[in-house]
Structure 1
Amino acid sequence: MDQAGGTGPDGSPSGGGLRRDLSGRQVGMIAIGGAIGTGLFLGSGLAINIAGPAVIIAYAVAAFAALALAYALAEMVVVHPDAGGFGPIAQRYLGGLAGFVQRWIYWAAQVVNIGSEVVAAGLYVQFWYPQLPLWLPVVVFSVVMLAINASAVKYFGEFEYWFALIKVVTIVVFVLLGITYIVFGLPGRPATGVGALTEHDGFLPNGIGAVWLALTVVTFSYLGTEAVAVTASESRNPRRDVPRAARNMVLRLGLFYVLGMLVVVSILPWNQVSTEEDVTESPFVALFATAGIPAAAGIMNFVVLTAALSAMNTNLYVTARMTYSLAVDGYAPKWFAGLSPNGAPRRALLLSAGGLVLAAGISVFAESTAFPLLLGLALFGALITWLIIFASHLAFRRHRAAHDLPASPVRLPGAPVTTLLAMLFVAAVLLTTPFTEQFNTAWKAGVPFLLVLCLAYYLLRRRAAG
């Protein structure tokens, strides 16, 4: 029997509320796992094709915004570790409209991602079993991930820990192997040096403007950094675990993204890196194959399969908590605030499951028409969410200063200047999306949906007032 539950003012469970069963290591791995998805393994090839070796600059610049976001979130959620993470914080400091829009547009963006990830996972299985109908692995993975999320949060955390660890280990091995190849060489293969950075039409073969265009693809790879904030309400010690996860992300993102791309473009000619969304054409596969690693494509196929399932698992977790938070605040039917005896928001998970079915179905049967609009909505919604998070951080800082409240145990260095710079960067990337082939549907889908959400909020307010 499900029961309604919520959180107290300090974020602690009240009655039958969410359980604080996520350990520090689980929170940390969920944070880094959320920021490392198939965008790094596959989408990086597209970014390299656009910008050439200068893609390193794009990844470094986008890392600044992602790290600023992680620290801003950590600063706020240790003070307000509420269910829904940044959604209730936006409502507290920016008002009901911001809290409503942010949570629903983020929910929609993540549901689209869930649908695309489960279809991608099915395609990866077809790499080994090409005769297998796509719907079969899609259904199996959907059922398994929903079951994991319907269980106690500690089981979800453990599953995600090990799946995310596979991605982390793969990237570490990749970077170490690449550096060894560059500096010392490998058995039967002399050291490559870093000549590929400039030998093929220079470091900026397509100009500085191409680096900026590549930022839309690169920033898409960093989306998911915000997931760490949602774990605060179920962390055993959010004041310790969330800041630690944010700090660890600094080193890891620098290692995984910037150093990883440096290795790729130092060894492989940038104009030979494929842009096809095919696991066998991933820059990671190409480097493993060049280094003489046997079955490189098969190994990387397994890695990107786990990456897709990990991203799907985390996104289901996040969307369920967003729905639960909206229901608690009266912005979704109260029925969705029900919790199972183990503290899981299973009713809220059902709504995300419905979205998963819809997004997966569209990606299979309307890939060339409707699904590009959904992907555009996903990017638009995620970037709007980042903008509202930064706006919330500015308001959070002003409020605490105005009321002479103690500073948060963790603080974003350089704020509010850092916050404003990151905010301007995200806004500029959003304004650039119409000029990129991959995400030119972002505004076409995102703006109408944003207007619908605003209208829905005012209709709900009027109904509540009446």
Structure 2
Amino acid sequence: MQYVRVTGTRGGALHRELSGRQVGMIALGGAIGTGLFLGSGLAISLAGPAVVVAYLVAALVALALAYALAEMIVVHPEAGGFGAVAQRYLGPLAGFVQRWMYWAAVAVNLGSEVVAAGLYVRFWWPQLPLWLPVVVFSVVMLGINALAVRFFGEFEYWFAMIKVAAIVVFVLLGLTYVVVGLPSRPAVGFGGLVEHGGFAPNGLGSVWLALTVVTFSYLGTEAVAVAAAETRDPARSVPRAARGMVVRLLLFYVLATLIVVTIVPWQQAAGADGVEQSPFVTLFALAGVPAAAGIMNFVVLTAALSAMNTNLYVSSRMAHSLALDGFAPKWVGRVSPSGSPRNALALSAGGLAVAALVSVVSPQQAFPIMLGLALFGALVTWLLIFASHLAFRRARAGQPRPAVRLPGAPVTTVLAMAFVLAVLVTTAFTEQFDTAWKAGLPFTALLVVLYYAVRRRSSPAATGHRVEVDPQ
């Protein structure tokens, strides 16, 4: 059966109402989660102070991804973002597998985020049953996403702004403490980087193992591509968001982690568990900030809700774009008069409910497998994004250059792709992430089988774009 693409209607059902500042915060909200605030203990336990190098290397790869995406999305600001681009340049099988795998990965993360948010609320009210805040936050976030996209964008802007402000304050306080000192606290200097067993106390191999954890921290950088179809001026906003990621990722991950392992012995930071042990709380308390633990708990709560908000958004848009291409039921592609794909949102809510239920009922058995699936799916998504960029460059050879380009490509693209592949292979030998292959390979095989089953049952017209507006 020949694949048919109807390009004229792609993205037409979604309203272009996101501003440039909102797109920038959506990108940032997707890339920065609660792990940074709670110390990234696992990565630090593996690499010690050398975890800073791991964060720097992974940041460069994430930036390559951001620029590759911006280059492609400026030319193709379509519903489905990188999934639509993969389908255009790598074929419908790649587009099908990538989008459904990414949707599943995001659905799992949604479940972990809403449960984490519920646990943060119990910091103040320990007697509260966990299911209550989980249900309340789920309903609230679904309600925000069901509104017109400009309302989602505004909510996400302020959610992300809270954690950005917290990181900026932490970095400024930390630098002051390290170089100048705080009231009644002399400057500590940078000796902490080498005074506790050396800069890389567990050897260079441990730095590579830490990269499996650190790379997971940057997953979400790709969210900016999904927002392009609803951006007022994607040719201007998407490149600006990609460039903004350069400074922000270096500042928020690399510099913040450097301060953590400088002011807190790495063994202590590695053992930190919970809000009260967060290096952020330690520094705020040293600076005399009243109720530092309570303030930090509020910040990590908003960080979890921000990540949940963004992931609901990208998962619903992925499902919506699959329906446009005939790879999901037609009803998933319908949108409300305000341009919100509410049926796709309902589908994502089902995944949220399952993931949240599993995380509560069977956290020791089933949930690690689901998290392994999320990691595998996210890394495969990155691989296919870089593969799409190589095909994109080849197909557009000799054509006018986009407003933003990945420097050094295609060499940069190949190197970044090799790095992601190496990290994916390494997960099979990492105790914390070995479930990635156990869950990921069977799920990939299942998706391939489903693709051929769907393709056989679909007519050529069914693989084009159908836009249906729900009259309700």
TM-score (norm 2): 0.94
Corresponding position: 1:410 with 2:404 = yes
Q: What's 1:435 paired with?
A: 429
Letter in 1 for 2:364: S
Can you list the C-alpha shifts for 1:403-459, whole angstroms capped at 9, x where unaligned?
x32121110000001111110110111111122222121111111101000110111
After superposition, where does 1:154-169 map in structure 2 within 5 Å?
Answer: 154-169=150-165
Q: What's 2:144 paired with?
A: 148
SS of equivalent to 2:432: coil
Q: What's 2:469 paired with?
A: none
d(CA) in 2 for partners of 1:143 and 1:10?
32
Change (3 A) 1:25 1:118: same
After superposition, where does 1:272-283 map in structure 2 within 5 Å?
Answer: 272-283=268-279
Q: What's 2:115 paired with?
A: 119
Q: What's 2:180 paired with?
A: 184
d(CA) in 1 for partners of 2:74 and 2:447?
29
Can you list the C-alpha shifts for 1:65-117, whole angstroms capped at 9, x where unaligned?
10000000000001000001000100000001100000000000000000100
Can you list the C-alpha shifts for 1:356-379, whole angstroms capped at 9, x where unaligned?
100000000000010000000011
After superposition, where does 1:249-288 map in structure 2 within 5 Å?
Answer: 249-288=245-284
d(CA) in 1 for partners of 2:435 and 2:273?
18
SS of equivalent to 1:339: coil
Corresponding position: 1:327 with 2:326 = no
Letter in 1 for 2:372: G
d(CA) in 1 for partners of 2:417 and 2:277?
34
Q: What's 2:463 paired with?
A: none
Q: Is the Cα–Cα contact under 8 Å of residues 20 and 236 in structure 1 kept in the other structure?
A: yes
Q: Is the Cα–Cα contact under 8 Å of residues 45 and 283 in structure 1 kept in the other structure?
A: no
Change (3 A) 1:132 1:407: same
SS of equivalent to 2:363: coil
Q: What's 2:447 paired with?
A: 453
Q: 1:338 aligns with which of 327, 334, 341?
A: 334
d(CA) in 2 for partners of 1:277 and 1:99?
39
Corresponding position: 1:374 with 2:358 = no
Can you list the C-alpha shifts for 1:31-82, whole angstroms capped at 9, x where unaligned?
1111111122226122111100000000000001100000000000010000
The structure 1 segments of at least 4 consecutive aligned residues displaced by more than 6 Å after TM superposition are none
d(CA) in 1 for partners of 2:262 and 2:19?
39
Q: What's 2:224 paired with?
A: 228
Q: What residue ranges of structure 1 are gaps of 5+ in the alignment?
A: 1-5
Q: Is the Cα–Cα contact under 8 Å of residues 10 and 80 in structure 1 kept in the other structure?
A: no
d(CA) in 2 for partners of 1:275 and 1:163?
28
In the alignment of these two chains, the number of paired residues is: 456
d(CA) in 2 for partners of 1:254 and 1:81?
27
Deviation at 1:279, TM superposition (A): 2.0
Q: Is the Cα–Cα contact under 8 Å of residues 146 and 345 in structure 2 kept in the other structure?
A: yes
Q: What residue ranges of structure 2 are gaps of 5+ in the alignment?
A: 461-472
Q: What's 2:465 paired with?
A: none
d(CA) in 1 for partners of 2:50 and 2:422?
19
Q: Is the Cα–Cα contact under 8 Å of residues 31 and 245 in structure 1 kept in the other structure?
A: yes
Q: Is the Cα–Cα contact under 8 Å of residues 68 and 386 in structure 2 kept in the other structure?
A: yes
SS of equivalent to 2:38: helix
Deviation at 1:300, TM superposition (A): 1.1
After superposition, where does 1:103-118 map in structure 2 within 5 Å?
Answer: 103-118=99-114
Change (3 A) 1:384 1:452: same
Over aligned residue pairs, what C-alpha RMSD do you find?
1.5
TM-score (norm 1): 0.96
d(CA) in 2 for partners of 1:411 and 1:371?
39
What is the aligned-residue identity percentage?
72
Corresponding position: 1:61 with 2:57 = yes
